[in-house]
C-alpha cells in the first residue's frame, strides 16, 4: 500500500519539498531572532545609541522592553539555543 500511495503522491513531491525547505528556513530564522547573544548585543547597541544622543529615553525604554520580551520568550521556549533547551 505504501508504494501505491507514493506513486499517487509523486506529482506533489515538489510542493512537499518546498514546504520542508520553508519550514527549515523558518526554524533557523526563529533561532537567530531569539538568540540570547544576539539580543544582548542589540541591547548594548541600543544603550550606545542612547549615550550618543541618537535616541531619547522614551524610545530607549520602548525598544529595551521589546528586546527584553524577546529575550524572555527565547529563553522560555529554548528557540534561540538551536537544541530545544534553554541555556
| Alpha carbon distances (Å) from 79 to 4, 23, 32, 73, 86 | 38, 14, 8, 8, 8
| pLDDT one-digit tens code per residue, 15-43 | 888 888 999 999 999 999 999 999 999 99
Q: Which residue has the cell 518546498?
A: 18
Planar angle of CA 10, 11, 13, nearest 5 degrees = 65
Domain boundaries, the chain: 36-80
User: For the chain, how big is the Rg over CA atoms in Å?
Assistant: 21
Q: Report CA 24 to chain centroid distance, whole Å.
A: 12
pLDDT tens profile 56-80: 999 999 999 999 999 999 989 876 5
pTM (2 d.p.): 0.65
- Distance, CA of 74 to CA of 35 (rounded, Å): 7
Amino acid at each position: 500500500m505504501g508504494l501505491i500511495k507514493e506513486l499517487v503522491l509523486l506529482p506533489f513531491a515538489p510542493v512537499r519539498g518546498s514546504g520542508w525547505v520553508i519550514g527549515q528556513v523558518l526554524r533557523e530564522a526563529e533561532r537567530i531572532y531569539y538568540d540570547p547573544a544576539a539580543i544582548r548585543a542589540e541591547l548594548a547597541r541600543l544603550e550606545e545609541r542612547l549615550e550618543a544622543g541618537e535616541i531619547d529615553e522614551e524610545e530607549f525604554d520602548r525598544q529595551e522592553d521589546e528586546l527584553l520580551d524577546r529575550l524572555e520568550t527565547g529563553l522560555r521556549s529554548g528557540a534561540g539555543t538551536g537544541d530545544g533547551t534553554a541555556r
